[in-house]
Every structure is written in C-alpha cells, then in structure tokens.
Structure 1
Amino acid sequence: MEQSQQGPDRRARDLGVVVGPLPTGRHNAITDVPGVLVGHTTVDDGRDLHTGVTAVVPSQLGPGRWSLPAAVHTGNGYGKLVGSTQVDELGVLESPIVLTATLSVFRAADALLTYLMAGRPDGLSFNPLVGETNDGHLSDIRRRPVTEEHVLDAIRRAAGGLPAEGCVGAGTGTSALGYKGGVGTSSRTVRTVAGAVTVGALTQSNFGGVLTVLGVPLPVDELVPAADRAEPPGNSCMIVVATDAPLDARQLGRLARRAIFAMARVGAAYQNGSGDYAIAFSTARSDQAPLPDADLDPVFAAVLDSVEEALLNSLFTATTTTGVAGRTRHAVPKEAVVRRLAAAGRLAPPA
C-alpha cells in the first residue's frame, strides 16, 4: 500500500504527445502549484480488490487560514461529491480534497472529518470534500474496503514532486474510454498581469467514449481486438484544478467549467450514468486582488491543456488489470498509439 513513483517513458510526453504550446511546470503536475501536495493509498490484493484513496492537500490550509477560494462545477451529476453544496454556497474550500471509490466515499468523508477535527479541537462545523468514481468493474466495491486509516495515510504521506500516476490510489480500479484508467496529472505556467502563475490538474478517469489523442481516434476495438466490451458502471471523472493565480470563487467556477470541457478533447461521451465533476481552488495570498476577467484567457488555456494532458497521462501510465470475476481492462497499447499518431503527423519531434 505504499505510494510509488512511476518509471520513465510512460507519460504522454515520453511518447511525443505534446498538448498545446504552453510550457509546463517543473514536474508537469498539480504539485507545481506551490504548496499543493498529493498522497495516495492503494488497496490492491491482486485479486478482487483494486481501489484506494488519493488526497490533494493544499498546505496553505492551517492555523491562520482555514479556507481557500474554491468552486465546483457539475458536468453531469450522477455521482456523490460530499461537501459540494457548501463550496457552491460559500465559495471556499475548508479541507484537503479526497478521491476514492463510490461506495467508500462516505467512510472517506467521515475519516476526513476526523482529520479536520484533530486540527481544530474547538471547531463545531467542518466541510470535508470527497469525490468518487465507480471502480466496481474491476474491484469488489460492495466490500467497501477503504478505512479511516487509508484516508489518513494518504493525507499524511502527501508530498510534492511528481506524484505516482495510473493504477494507484483512487485510480487503482478505474476504466476510461475502453482502456484501463487511473490517476493523471499535468500543469502549465502562463504570464498574466499579476505575473507568472501556475495551473495544475489532477484527474481520476473512469468515463466512457472513444479515446482521442490530438484529434486522432484510437478505439479500443481496433487497437485491442480481444478487449472486454462490457460497459463499466458509473462512467465518471473527477478533476481537481489548482492555481496560484489570484482568483475569486466566481472566476474559479469558470475554470472548473473549462476543466469539464477538456474531457471532450480526449473523446468523452458524457453519458447518462457519468458523474463528471471539477473542483478548482486558488492558493494565492488572501490580500491579492483577483485578476480582471478580461485577462483570464491564458489561464483558461492552461486549464484546458493541463486537464487534457492529465487525462492522457492517467491512461498512458495505467497497466492492464484483471479484477473481480476475472474481468480485465487492458492498458492503452502505446506502440500502436505512436504508430497511428506518427502516421497522422501528430507527434512532436524528439527533443
């Protein structure tokens, strides 16, 4: 159940897949936003359990600052995002953001409450924010294996640097676009009137559609003819967007909407049973004036590109997984993807 770092040559850019012209942050991850940390706990018995917890922890939350500007956007609300209505009402984030499996979301929220209460022993009201996708196609979701300790461990071990991606934490048992899904992350840096800012995204991919990379469709029935065609339940996606740009809650809502728009770039079908949610928050100092709306275009572009690349990373770093009832989700066959993208002239030249 340890958090592990991925090996080389597994992310989108390692294959020559470069999304947009904007520069990335140092790690091309949500952790490039100063103070934003990520931790995972993976629950995987190699047989019927493939699940876990991913925590996005803004270190700015603490004594002297118990909330950050934030917003939630619901693309399709077939899901359980505990705590979202208070974020909508007050425009603030009061806790780390925890992602897990659908039937474990309520235990995870209670565990996050334990964490919040320990930090503020005099508090009488807390708003833990916990999202989910349904990993029941590969994991025995009814066993609800996620415990309080799993959640607390993910928060405690949250760190900077490049987080593990793919089949880890909340992405251990997910499926997306016909392939094995997972957790992915990416970032962009842009210039604004307030100076250079960073936008980072982390995604938990578990949604339906046809994988599309840089405009090239890559259907699973063509690339993996023997793949299981069964449609997993609860085709959903959780997206977390962090930035150090000074933005208010209304503006962060605009970022969150664009995060959902970015799913279309990779072929999302936005199906009836999909819970597609985006959470956006700012770590900027509270005394900074928000950017003018007229100057948000580069930030919007950074959101779209970082979410698109995070979603691709979530698939490209995932590995073939066989789970409950012998069901299998195959990893994206990267060699076949490279061949098709090269034929279409979409790959970036070697660095």
Structure 2
Amino acid sequence: MRPLVRQPQPPPTSDMFSRVLPTARSLGHARRAMATLPPPQLFDYATITSNLKVSQAIEAVEAAFGALAKGEVDVPIPMHIGIDESAAAGPGDCHIKGGYIFGTTTWTVKLANVSFYKNVDKGLPPGSGVFIVCDATNGAPLGIFQENRYMTDLRTGAAGAVAVKHCVNRDADKVCFVGGGVINLAMATACASVHDFRSGTVFGLDMAQSEAFAKQITDELGYPMTVCDTVEDALADADVVFTATPAAAPVLELGMLKPSATIIASGSDQPTKQEIPVEVQKASRMVCDLVRQCSRVGELRSAIEAGVMTEDDVHAELGEIVNGTKPGRVGDELILVDLTGTGAQDAAIGQVAWEVLGSK
C-alpha cells in the first residue's frame, strides 16, 4: 500500500475568500432583514427614588440571599477598576457587580462609581451609578437606571435589615453607628422596618457629618441619637454595631464591645480595607453574605491572611440562616456579619425596579 501523502495546495486567492466570506454590504443587508430588539428604557434618579421602597428591597434581598445559599444565583466575583489620580482623571473607583437569580425574568449588571472626592469641590457627589437590567429570555437590555447609588444603597441597607432580623437579640435597644455616611443611613432606615431601637450613638471622623446624621435619624426614625467624641464612648453598651467606613485599619477593639453584641460590617469591599480586628473575628460567630467573596475582599480576608481563621471557620452564609438550614443567634454570643455586597442583591433590586417601573 502506498503511503498517504498530503498533496500541496495552491495558495488562497482573493476570489476564494469572496466566495466564502460575506461582504460588508451583504452583512448590512442581512442585519436590516433581521428583526431588531427595542432600545432600553431610560429611568432618571427622580423617577427611581419616588417609586422604589425600602420594604420592596428587603423582601427581594432576603429572598435573593436564600436563593444564593441554595446555589440558585449565578453571581461572578466583582470587578474593580481603579482610577488613579492624574492631571486627566481621578482619583476614584468603579465596582462592577451583577447576577441572575434562577427563575426570574431579568438579569442585572451594576456599575457603582465611588470615591471621586474631587467632585465635592465642584459641588458634585463623590459617587454615582447605573443599573442595566436585561431580559433573561433574549438578553436584550430592558432598562438603564440612572440611580446614582440609590439602588445600591437601598439593597445594602436591605442586607443590614436581613442581618438584624436573623442575628440580633429581640430585646436589643441600643444601636451604634461607626461612620455617619450614606451607607449607615441606609442601614438605619431599612432596619427600622424590622426592629425598634430606643437609642443610638454615632462616631465619625467628620463631626459635622455625624451631627447631621444624628439629627436625620432622630427626625425620621424617632429615637434619640448621641454624637460621641470617641469610638469607645459610642460602643459602650451597644447591642448592635454598624460599621461603614473606608478604613484600612481596625476602627474598634474587642474590649470595647458588649459580649452579646451583633456587629454588621459593610465597609470592606476591597483587599486594602479592614474595619474589624482579627481578634474580634476569631472571637465571634461569623456570618458572611458570600464566603468566597468575603475571603477575598471582606473582613474575613484579614483573618485568613493573619492565619487565625479559614473559610471553614465561618458559621454560616446569611442565606443559610434565612433558609433555616443553619441557626442565627442562639444565645448571648458575639456575632459578626461580614457584608461585602453581592451581585445577588443587585439582581434582586434590578428585578424589582423593572417590575415597578418597566410597565409605566
């Protein structure tokens, strides 16, 4: 038998390519012949803030955590884009999150732009944001929500409310806020729907901001607030502690905390941040919104890097407690809830936004 020998082939010619590749003109004809998807609707900030409610966010986010714990949410690890300061740009950061909850009609991608502090000198807010909500059937963008972080803050506050609902003693009456910014304001507002506090304290590096925060809480939520000069004074006898700062080093110490306190930490969302010392993490029953994310960018990251904890030391994800597969609070233990913000929350609030506004 003669061996098979590959015969040399002539080099390709332009005529050969013209027979197999469509021309730009033919592509244009083909695209015009195809049906096109409608453009997305655009929703401005005023429309969003006047129609989306805290109660809707809490219900949706609680369900999203439950679905996340069951493996029913496709949620990628967040993307972070750092805008270094130069003559042309920055400083600032962009966080990109999103996800799809099984069985829902939409999926969401969110861009949260933060820490553009030069904006303040121009009379502009340091943060902004856009939600893009897409059709889960055909993939088309349905709505672009110019929410300027309102929807992000709404879903973040809702996560805090879910944590309070499942991890706080029912007789807890004193709350402490470390940081007097918009995140803790969102936490306070949402938590008022699930728990009644009788008094509160706030500590922040910006005294004017802390005073404005305290006044707004008292005026809108009805319980007295004290602005403290030190974090130790603010934490004294606090049953629930919310931390929401961009700190790169711990903002409190273990000895400052009530042994039965619940700490809800939402400031750490990058590997450079840390609010809670590793001693507190090790001493706490730790709950994470998403363990694999907290171990990368949350408080848990610092404890793992210090060698005092592993992912296996986490008591539960918040969704497991929501689903009842693991207990929340069972006694007077110290509890730490590590909230890094998940794409499941963004998918949930995006679905709510489309259901409420898409038909208008």
| TM-score, normalised by the number of residues in structure 1 | 0.24
| Greater strand proportion | 1
| TM-score, normalised by the number of residues in structure 2 | 0.24
